[in-house]
Structure 1
């Protein structure tokens, strides 16, 4: 979700300190101009169809484009890929409207590094980010922790539906990527897509069929309560690929913009399970379940309240072992930057208006 429930056409990034204190209206106007300017005139993909893309490995001091399915286990410093018995998935929307995007993304990475370091070392990690700008990708791919620990799906905005913002996924180097593709939604006003990564669960054995992969989907569904509704067809399209007979199981996560009553049953409409609900969470428990609004600007929180926008959905032969939120009260540290963000109407200089969601899964046998 975007701050104050606005579309991405109403957002803008300020990389430095403005010459005067901007108003929210000024941020909206600047954002509209930027997104319109960066709209892609032509694209190589067919809407609603998978479009393959490479992923990138840090090799010999640079990010190397790699075709999914290629064995990279011989690269210096890389662990030999293994089939995951368990997986920890983190998903976080980092608000890109606010000033000081580099500082905020860097704080997000440091927080995630701390969380990942505290969990069991044998569990591989995947991180979903949404609302990224190209400058966020530069921060992510320049970070030593990311370079040492993950493969990444994006170095720039080339494969995004939008010419301005999008999603990106970080995959633990201990995992083998079998496929990487995006499905760019035809039904979208806001240039949304789904980013899919298939993880290998094993190699072909003599006289046995190849093990089906674990499919992951990072998506940011349509914002706002507008007609016609676009979140239902977007999630239905993702679910169709999640239920493919060619995959062992599927997990989807992201900012699903669940702000209307029908959003509460979109998962069951598509024969998906909701990790939060499966672990005993209640749809009406704002204190335990909501992920947006607690760290929004005060006026936005008073106007819209809080809600459970961010979710983890799954199907197939996986079991959700735990679910939790993270990212509470993470703030930028530079004093001048803190003051500027608070002046925009925030209680504290939080790095984003969303809490993140984390789920740990075990992979069941065939």
Structure 2
């Protein structure tokens, strides 16, 4: 870091940097070393307030692996439905794109998920953030993925067009959703944000039936994954992005389907403590799975004693597995609206209330040493749709 500051002509000492400036310089330097430098990326002093605009969705064609042709092909199973009351398992994990060995780390992440959820998981949706081309290739070639999941993307999405960028430029890092093959899909699309980092919302609509699935469903559960703008200076942008997600989850547009409830999972980048209340703002009005049950009391620690629970009482997901991290935060969340309930977990290695964390301490061998699979813990929850009026449009 000292050398990086010197290269930039920044005369501050490393210890003089705020946590946010430290992490910004680190990530920017890492992305440059991987030839992912985007000279239009914001510096902390250049973020502008978002402007109002309507973003058009970019519809995708979900892909299923065809073992006969050994290739990924278009998937369609609209004749199936998720029955109301069926459990839906949802896992979310940010894979930290600047770190080296993306393919090896992603393969280790998939192996971890396979260990947790079994060789043939049912009703398991996996949400990834910060994947790279190498990460995606590792997922496409993974046998467990091929046998069990439909993918929202089999190629990196393209950046939104700007004057200084050629059209159809692949994004250097992106989100992905893995949907179980036994579930139906009626829509998959991306909606770009007003964003200085070209972030978006990836949306999947899953039809839900009232009975045993024999009738064609006219109602859908909307699932979304996202990676909100980073850095402390992106706070205003994150608020507007969350407003946009809330509108998506509460929308009534789904190509003939009524949106009956929705959930978003991902890296919300809540770097400021006040942002843990953003979901309660009237413009957002979503529920946080973390708050569905009271959190346990933090452990009483003696001076200089390490918290061996990794911030369990606070639901921390970041700050323990990165050389650049000097603060510990709950950046990864599930937020939801509509007739959805969550319930306590037992499958993951660490659980608190209705939200579980996994990937804690997980490393994989690269060359002669071990590296962290990610600087984030993964999070997991089990949800089901109800018809109770008391949980519709929660405040």
TM-score normalised to the size of structure 1? Answer: 0.78
1:293 maps onto 2:319 in alignment: yes
Match of 1:261 in 2: 273
Match of 2:62 in 1: 55
Equivalent-residue separation in structure 1 for 2:216 and 2:78 (angstroms): 22
Equivalent-residue separation in structure 2 for 1:37 and 1:163 (angstroms): 13
Residue deviations 1:247-284 (CA, integer Å, cap 9, x gap): 11101000000111331111111111100111323798
Unaligned runs of 5+ residues in structure 1 are: 12-24, 39-45, 74-79, 339-348
Over aligned residues, Cα RMSD in angstroms?
3.0
Match of 2:77 in 1: 71
Residue deviations 1:38-85 (CA, integer Å, cap 9, x gap): 9xxxxxxx962322111101123210134xxx4377xxxxxx665361
1:248 maps onto 2:260 in alignment: yes
Listed as ranges, the matches of 1:173-184 within 5 Å are: 173-184=181-192
Asked if the contact 2:121/2:148 (under 8 Å) is kept, the reply is no
Match of 1:321 in 2: 343
Equivalent-residue separation in structure 2 for 1:141 and 1:268 (angstroms): 38
Equivalent-residue separation in structure 2 for 1:235 and 1:133 (angstroms): 24
Match of 1:279 in 2: 293
Equivalent-residue separation in structure 1 for 2:98 and 2:179 (angstroms): 26
Match of 2:202 in 1: 195
Structure 2 counterpart SS, 1:177: coil
Structure 2 counterpart SS, 1:113: helix
Equivalent-residue separation in structure 2 for 1:215 and 1:125 (angstroms): 15
Residue deviations 1:129-159 (CA, integer Å, cap 9, x gap): 0001111111101100000000001111135
Equivalent-residue separation in structure 1 for 2:22 and 2:148 (angstroms): 35
Structure 1 counterpart SS, 2:363: coil
Residue deviations 1:189-218 (CA, integer Å, cap 9, x gap): 11100000001113999xx99431000000
How many pairs align? 315
TM-score normalised to the size of structure 2? Answer: 0.72
Listed as ranges, the matches of 1:205-244 within 5 Å are: 210-226=217-233, 229-244=236-251
Match of 2:83 in 1: 83
Match of 2:138 in 1: 139
Match of 2:24 in 1: 6
Structure 2 counterpart SS, 1:200: strand
Structure 1 counterpart SS, 2:108: helix
Unaligned runs of 5+ residues in structure 2 are: 1-19, 42-52, 161-169, 253-257, 300-310, 345-354, 389-395
Asked if the contact 1:160/1:166 (under 8 Å) is kept, the reply is no
Match of 1:150 in 2: 149
Structure 1 counterpart SS, 2:244: helix
Structure 1 counterpart SS, 2:291: helix
Asked if the contact 2:78/2:185 (under 8 Å) is kept, the reply is no
Equivalent-residue separation in structure 2 for 1:238 and 1:52 (angstroms): 16
1:354 maps onto 2:363 in alignment: no
Residue deviations 1:92-150 (CA, integer Å, cap 9, x gap): 001121221111110000000111118xx785100000001111111101100000000
Equivalent-residue separation in structure 2 for 1:96 and 1:127 (angstroms): 17
- Which has the greater radius of gyration? 2
Deviation of 1:337 after TM superposition, in Å, equals 4.0
Asked if the contact 1:212/1:247 (under 8 Å) is kept, the reply is yes
Structure 1 counterpart SS, 2:379: strand
* Alpha-carbon distance change, 89 to 127 in structure 1, aligned in 2, over 3 angstroms: same
Listed as ranges, the matches of 1:2-41 within 5 Å are: 5-6=23-24, 10=27, 25=29, 27-31=30-34, 34-36=37-39
Match of 2:306 in 1: none
Asked if the contact 1:88/1:125 (under 8 Å) is kept, the reply is yes
* Alpha-carbon distance change, 47 to 142 in structure 1, aligned in 2, over 3 angstroms: farther
Asked if the contact 1:327/1:356 (under 8 Å) is kept, the reply is yes
